[in-house]
Structure 1
Amino acid sequence: MAHKLSRRSFLKWTGISVGGGMVLGAGSNQLRLSNLVLAADQAPAQEEEGEWRHTACAMCLMCPMQVKVKNEKIIDVQGEDIYPWKGKVCAKAFGGIWGRIYAPDRILHPLKRVGERGEGKFVRCTWDEVIEATANKIKEYMDAGHPEWYETWWGCPVQTDNMYFLHYWARITGTSISYMHGQICFGDNTAEKSITFGGNRAGDLVGGTADYLNCKYAVIAAQNFPGSVFTPGTTCGSSAFFPVFLKARENGFKYTLLDPKLTDSGALANEWLPIKPGTDAVFAMAVANVLLKEKLYDEEFLLTYTNAAQLINSATKEAIKDAEGNYMLWDGASNAAVVLTEAGTMQGELGIGTTYEINGVKCQTALGAWAQDIAEYTPDKAIEICEIPFSTDKIYEIAHNLGYNRPAVIFSGGFTTGRYANWFQVLRCYSAVNLLLGNIERPGGWYFPKKKFNVGTGWPTYPEVPEYPDPELQVVPGAWANLVSIKSLDKVPCYSDPPKYHPATVALPWEHFDAMRAGKIKALFSTAENSAITQVDTTLVYECLHGLELIVVGEQLPKEFVELADYVIPEASYVERNHLYTFTSLGQDGKEHPTAMMRSAAIQPQGESKPVSWFYTEVGKRLGLGDYFENIDQQYGYWDPMLKKAGLSVTSKDLVENGPYSESIPMEYDVLSMPIPTPSKRFEFYSNELAENCYYHPDSPWQSMEYVHPLPVYIPIVKPQNEDEFYLISGKATWHQKNATQDNRYLMESGIEGGCPYTPVYLNAERAAELGIKENDVIEIECIGPVMSDEVCVHDDSNIGFKDTVRVHLSEGLHPAVAFTHFAAGHKSNLMLSKVREGIVHSEFVPLTVEPYGGGCGKNYSIVKIRRVGV
């Protein structure tokens, strides 16, 4: 008999049965993370019996941890005793177990939609029904010659089940796969770091890998630092960064936070500078101006490792080349232009304020031209444009702190991608200042771990499996060291001639939405992500998703994508399946720690839940492709060849039974420990890649656009015009990181917010008073921009005019130009917890903008009108 599900019945049908629920027993309803106390502050208690098993968290990233298991139930959590964790984990690790693994609304059975899409009405069904429906739809597309009409969307790699297998499955079936989340996370940052420093250094720079223990001073922008950062050298959470951070502070580390909002962990900063959105490039240029005029830069570094001395045409800014196409510089000794050689040899002169002439063409050095271009952005001008509430002396003070303490300094533009349509060039300005400071591979500066375990992708090959279909199909690098078809939507524009987007962009979401509208994507499977609300311009997203023929979602808890699904599969959680991870952390002991670990199946999958790899194996068998999948051992067999490829003698079973394998080696500073794969084979002030692929290329859609100028530039963004208009920006809270943390009753406790409430919209107190708005008033927010007519980067503005109401929180810790909401507050799914649904969905108010070449999606680029509507 069919049962339509309300939220109440949803709990009954999907939750753990009576007697199999929360492991804390009768007292579980009294558990509060806010009531936890330090072990040192409580009386010793008799330790409960149980077996400690090695695994890893996945609530934000992938911190290694142990769970204590009794009667196949987890009863306790602790960190692994390796650097830098040394036994510690954060509250998200506890919240993940009791608020996700054992949540009363956990999805434990396959579900089939019975109402209209989005109503959230389901009945229980069998695994066989979901497998058959998915396989039939893919077979239909295969028969039509278009298996790519079916897509897999995956999210965070530490929440996704065997991301390598998912890409292998897409390769064999000919279906599409996309890391949709990635481009709104860090995509254009990776592209910028690739064109400036080379792709082999991009990951560490994006992740913020630096020698904090020896750093004297840093400027950290656009990030909730240190609360939401990576542990240096890893993609692990901030719980392991705090021991490093505290040791750095003990060693004298100081830093300035540059952000429109004083973040919840930003109070640890030595000072906070509120900055107007979109003006970061001006701030960086003002700092660079001081460094240049007072000669507080590292000339030897610039001439040895960068193309600062490369000659460019003074009028056109095109690179000067010889007859063989070599880049040129000016040699003072011979008073002539000579070939610019690769990094490692000190060559040429910086030529600031100097003009040269070659065959009648006036030219400058790259640095000389940039110094001339940014001269107008003085500290005075920066205070004015950035609307920083300090005197000009503050810019000089920051520049002096950087210049006098170089190279033991860090100048960071943050981790996240495409905040505004100019962010790609903003990041280039930050990189230019770092080059001036010569802080690459220097004590206290940016650092690249010297030993990493290269495990590959683990794809099985012939004769283990039959020869791949379409054996001539080229695969290219994808997100997180995966491989994807060069014919995929995310890669075709990156490998065209000339490329429309940089190959390091990890996804091109707008291409998928355009394809949906054109009927070229008809079905999808979503796992470990919630693009229904995390992608900007949700009006567009929902329009596209509602038009699909089939949506299957793998999850543990309710969310918007679950409500939109035709079928929901009960996906095994992160502690119910195996996955290999490797990284090289920088510990509080000042050493590198190359590490391999297994996030193991510490407990059996709950209810009828299964790993996605099992589901896709079964679908593959229905498609007649079983020989490629059914003999793959997902528990150990998939991972052992990867460990062997990395030169490790341990097996995956060793890691499961004995815990992480970790080495300890000294840090070594060597700028040229690996090649610099840029066109000049040097770190590039002047981007020859942008010049040749975009700005000067006659066939590039971006030809002559300032967004791809080869020198870093400031591009103003659209501004609010009236007293009731604001930029609407968002950011992450320390205790909320990703999709996995949001429908979590423990991480939604008000008691852990520490005076930083999660669900209201924040307004500057003085600005609110001018509008007659008081604390906890209800305000209406309306999206009014940017629109296509005002901003060339706007791809879709169908959400203009969208309105919602929300309560307001007043704060002095906010720039007057902005309204702020926490990322992923205000969920709209009626199946989710009530507090999760308070607030607004920020992405509903953000039109879709697309940065040329870098592909950032402008996820904070929203202008809204605000008015008080109630109390």
Structure 2
Amino acid sequence: MTSTIVRAVCPHDCPDTCALHVTVKDGVATEVKGDPEHPTTAGVLCTKVSRYAERTYHKDRLLFPQKRVGRKGEGRFERISWDEALDIIAGKLGAIAARDPEAILPYSYAGTMGWLQGESMAPRFFHKLGASLLDRTICAMAGGTGYKYTIGAKVGTDTEQVQNARLIIIWGGNPIASNLHLWTRAQEAKRKGARLIAIDPYRSLTAEKCHQHIALLPGTDAALALGIMHVLIEENLLDHDYIAQYTLGFDLLKQRVREWTPEKTAATCGITAGEVTALAREYGAAGQRGEPAMIRLNYGMQRVRGGGMAARNIACLPALTGAWRHAAGGVQLSVSDSFPKDNQALQRPDLMPSGKYPRTINMSTIGDDLLRESSPEFGPKIDALVVYNSNPVAVAPESGVVARGFAREDLFTVVLEHFQTDTADYADILLPATTQLEHTDIHGAYGHLYLMANNPAIAPLGESRPNTEIFRLLAQRMGFTDPCFSETDDEIAAKAVKRNDERLIHFDWSSLKKTGWAKLTVPDAPFAKGGFPTPSGKCEFYSAAMQKDGLDPLPGYTPPYESAASNPELAKDYPLAMISPPARNFLNSSFVNVQSLRATEGEPHLDIHPDDAAARGIAQGDTVRIFNARGSFHAMARVTDKARAGLVVGLSIWWKKFAADNKNANEVTSQRLTDMGRAPTFYDVLVQVEKLAQ
């Protein structure tokens, strides 16, 4: 029996982007392990990806093209050939495009983070077709927008430096579940004497292991950052030299934060004034001592009305104290802009029909948009939807509306998938896509600085095909003869980065496939001497770009849409705030169908504070109904003080078909958008909870 090790990459939406070693025996992948030589992976995988072979060979893998034979949503299909599937799709899309190509919409996100399977041949196809564009906002657009107004790009602290920090603030994240390799380095820093502080409405697994947990109200992170700035300035815990050389607008910032006293901040955030003052003093004192203080800013805190401003406010903090001077200081939201990716070469926007730029549909409002009729303002009704690398019926907000949109009999829907997800149940044509073990790809990362190559370890199972190949075949059926539709995956990967960029000046795709990964050539401390990629070249406390875009140019606070303080009338009926962070054993909606992981997670559950449970006659293990005017879902109650009083936490995202009531937490979330970035407000929700008859 022959055995080989193939170098691969975890494709999932996680900052760690792990390097994999796949053991293959006689054409079968028998084991997936972390690459022990890759500096951030260090041979360790999360419980999810360590079972990747189980997922690839899952008994429910989609292996053949299928055509719907039942009603939409029933999930009844019959097997057809690839030729028949391609003919049906090309015929439908061609007829719709002849009327108006903008009536066709692609819908995709981060089911794979690979640049080939996610961002190359599919965009080329839809650009050539003239289809509507998709605004891919559903995860990180709010925070990314606010961060970029301040810092200039999604660049920040290198994860490989975190173990050298003396103070680590984990703000709005749970890295034990979703950023394991940064957490490993944070634990190393802790053993070396660093102090760890978690800021999160929920006492997550990570918060439990930090020295301190500050449980603020959802949606008030921007206010806490303003309060910290107030104390730093009032108590002169500042790096005046750094401020003078490398920042813009300090005097205006000083005036703005004057009103944000610890008392006002505490009242807004639902914490104590002492917590505000102590946190600011601790952060400022690290700067005064010349010790690196690092903020890991994650995505949970931005999924509220003021989420973009919250990320912006927090991004101001390291410039006030000079934390950027240290390689282990500063802030990390994402480092994805560190990679010199060549989107023009990958996606070929030049293929779009000249003279008319297609409309853009926001993926976070897909429910409403699928139900809109044609109008001068909206444009043509969406007549065709092609879904790949996403499961919108489960993950998009206000799920009941989303499902009604997908249930339209006049909507032609194609879904590329590994499994029959909630979304796949609504497909007219269901196409089997390959998994990461079966295709080629090239990856950047948003949590480390390594460019990575994924080599196929096994032949595609059944008749599954890579996304790139599926869209090549569709391009042929549609009569697209541009040479770019004949490029192989290797040819596309070879031109995926800007070759003259000094960060990857020696890039060679053939070599990268052999080595598996290569680190970018970037400074250890990216902004130690300024050089911010903003219009001014400085950290912008005052942003002229924000003013030009109609936004407040200074840090501020926008209260949530739904909270007891901002909407007391709504809170009379729905008094509990709700957040729905990822469950440890799932990754968004991926892995929910892997039995071993679902068994570990148990069933959908809701964490509720003992006081809130007692007021409703709810006991541990009771089945409860969580509801508001948008919808409802059922879960098992876990009575725990991990959820602060007034907050319930439904760990997500379950496939609806695996829940007893065929619903998940997105039944109650809203399609309203954030202050900037047009992103969803998943954690800006008020609900009521009631016990169901057992």
For normalisation by structure 1, the TM-score amounts to: 0.71
One-letter code aligned to 2:649: F
Q: Amino acid of the residue matched to residue 224 of structure 1?
A: N
1:383-435: CA deviation from partner (whole Å, max 9, x where unpaired): 333222xx533322211110100262234542347422122232233233333
Does residue 780 (structure 1) correspond to residue 663 (structure 2)? The answer is no
* Counterpart for residue 56 of structure 1: 9
Q: Which residue of 1 aligns with 2:553?
A: 710
Contact 1:53 / 1:657 at 8 angstroms: preserved in 2?
no
- Would the alpha carbon gap of residues 421 and 619 (structure 1) be closer, same or farther in structure 2, given more than 3 Å must change? same
Q: Distance in 1 between matches of 2:517 and 2:315?
A: 35
CA distance in 2, matches of 1:165, 1:446: 37
| Residues 746 and 385 of structure 1: CA distance in aligned 2, closer, same or farther (over 3 Å) | same
Given the alignment of the two structures, is residue 141 of structure 1 paired with residue 24 of structure 2, yes or no?
Answer: no
What is residue 727 of structure 1 aligned with on the other side?
Answer: 577
Alignment deviations for residues 709-730 of structure 1 (CA, whole Å, 9 cap, x no partner): 2222223333343497211211
Task: Quote the offset at 1:553 in angstroms.
Answer: 0.5
Q: Which residue is 1:386 aligned to?
A: 269
Distance 2:666 2:61 in 1: 26
User: Structure 1 residues 783, 573: CA separation in 2 closer, same or farther (over 3 Å shift)?
Assistant: same
Alignment check: 8 A CA contact 2:308 2:674 kept = yes
User: Between Structure 1 and Structure 2, how many residues are aligned?
Assistant: 667
The letter of the residue matching 1:120 is G
Q: Secondary structure at the match of 1:161?
A: helix
> Which residue of the other structure, out of 123, 139, 143, is the alignment partner of 1:185?
139
1:133-169 deviation per Cα after TM superposition (whole angstroms, max 9, x unaligned):
111122112322x222212211114267142222222
Q: Are 1:106 and 1:556, in contact at CA under 8 Å, matched by a contact in 2?
A: yes
Amino acid at match of 1:863: L
Q: Is the 8 A contact 2:121 2:485 kept in 1?
A: no
Aligned residue in 2 for 1:316 = none
Task: Tell me the equivalent position of 1:217.
Answer: 167
- What is the match of residue 416 of structure 2? 554
**Counterpart residue number, 1:195:** 149
Cross-structure match for 2:281: 400
**CA pair 601-187 structure 1, distance change in 2 beyond 3 A:** same
Residue 302, structure 1, aligned to residue 257, structure 2: no
Aligned counterpart, 1:439: 323
Aligned-partner Cα distance in 2 for 1:509–1:450: 22
Per-residue CA deviations over 1:242-290 (Å, capped at 9, x if unaligned) read: 4423332233222211111111233221111222222223322222222
Q: Which residue of 1 aligns with 2:684?
A: 861
Name the amino acid aligned to 1:212.
V
Q: Residue 766 in 1 paired to residue 611 in 2?
A: yes
* Cα 1:613/1:516, change in 2 over 3 Å: farther
Q: 1:838 to 1:72 in 2, by over 3 A?
A: farther
Between the aligned partners of 2:3 and 2:329, the Cα distance in structure 1 is 44
What CA distance in whole angstroms lies between the structure 1 residues aligned with 2:522 and 2:350?
41
- Matches of 2:238 and 2:486 in 1, distance apart? 59
1:423 aligned residue (296, 300, 307): 307
Pairing partner for 2:492 from 618, 638, 649: 638
Shift of 1:87: 2.4
Among candidates 634, 637, 641, match of residue 805 of structure 1: 634
CA contact (8 A) 2:625 2:632 kept: yes
1:566-645 correspondence runs (5 A): 566-582=428-444, 595-629=450-484, 631-634=486-489, 636-642=490-496, 645=499
| Deviation per residue, 1:416-465 (Å, 9 max, x gap) | 4742212223223323333322323434312798996634247389xxx9
Distance 2:351 2:139 in 1: 33
Q: Secondary structure at the match of 1:816?
A: coil
SS in 2 for 1:734: coil
Q: Distance in 1 between matches of 2:336 and 2:437?
A: 31
Alignment of 1:70-219 (within 5 A): 70-80=25-35, 81-98=37-54, 100-144=55-99, 146-156=100-110, 157-158=112-113, 161-178=117-134, 180=136, 183-198=137-152, 201=153, 203-205=154-156, 211-219=161-169
Distance 1:743 1:256, change over 3 A: same
For the pair shown, the structure with the greater C-alpha radius of gyration is 1
Q: Deviation digits for residues 16-47 of structure 1, max 9, x if unmatched?
A: xxxxxxxxxxxxxxxxxxxxxxxxxxxxxxxx
Q: Which runs of 5+ in 2 are unaligned?
A: 375-379, 565-570
Between 738-747 and 651-660, the greater mean CA deviation after superposition:
651-660
- Equivalent position amino acid for 1:380 in 2: E
Q: RMSD value over aligned CA atoms?
A: 3.1
Verify: 1:536 aligned to 2:397, yes or no: yes
Task: Decide whether aligned partners of structure 1 residues 442 and 472 sit closer, same or farther in structure 2, where only a CA change above 3 A counts.
Answer: farther
Structure 2 counterpart of 1:645, one-letter code: R
- Relative to structure 1, the CA distance from residue 110 to residue 839 in structure 2 (aligned partners, 3 Å threshold; closer, same or farther) is closer
1:625 partner amino acid = F
Q: In the TM superposition, what is the alpha-carbon distance from 1:855 to its structure 2 partner?
A: 1.6
Preserved contact between residue 318 and residue 331 of structure 2 (Cα < 8 Å): no
Where do 1:670-685 residues align within 5 Å? 670-671=527-528, 674=531, 676-678=533-535, 680-685=536-541
Partner secondary structure for residue 782 of structure 1: strand
Letter in 2 for 1:815: R
Shift of 1:543: 2.7
* Counterpart residue number, 2:256: 370
Amino acid at match of 1:812: D
Matches of 1:681 and 1:644, distance apart in 2: 22
Deviations 1:154-188 (A, max 9, x none): 111426714222222222222234264xx121001
Distance in 2 (CA, whole Å) between partners of 1:692 and 1:460 is 31
Q: Provide closer, same or farther for how the CA distance between residues 620 and 614 of structure 1 changes in structure 2, counting only shifts above 3 A.
A: same
Structure holding more helix per residue: 2
Structure 1 position 96, deviation (Å): 1.9
Aligned to 1:498: none
Q: How big is each residue's C-alpha offset from its partner over 1:498-554, in whole Å with a ceiling of 9 and x where there is no partner? A: xxxxxxxxx553378437512422111111111112111112222322235211111
Identity %: 19
Residue 745 of structure 1: aligned partner? 595
Q: How far does residue 304 in structure 1 lie from its aligned partner after superposition?
A: 1.5
1:486 Cα shift? 5.0
Distance 1:278 1:88, change over 3 A: closer
**TM-score where L is the length of structure 2:** 0.88
Say whether the 8 Å CA contact 1:725–1:866 is kept in structure 2. no
2:586 is aligned, of 729, 732, 736, to 736
* Cα distance per residue 1:810-867 (max 9 Å; x no partner): 1111111111101212x223xxxx4x66785111101221234432321111111112
Report the AA paired with residue 164 of structure 2: N
State yes or no: 1:459 paired with 2:356.
no
Deviates more, 1:525-534 or 1:684-693: 684-693
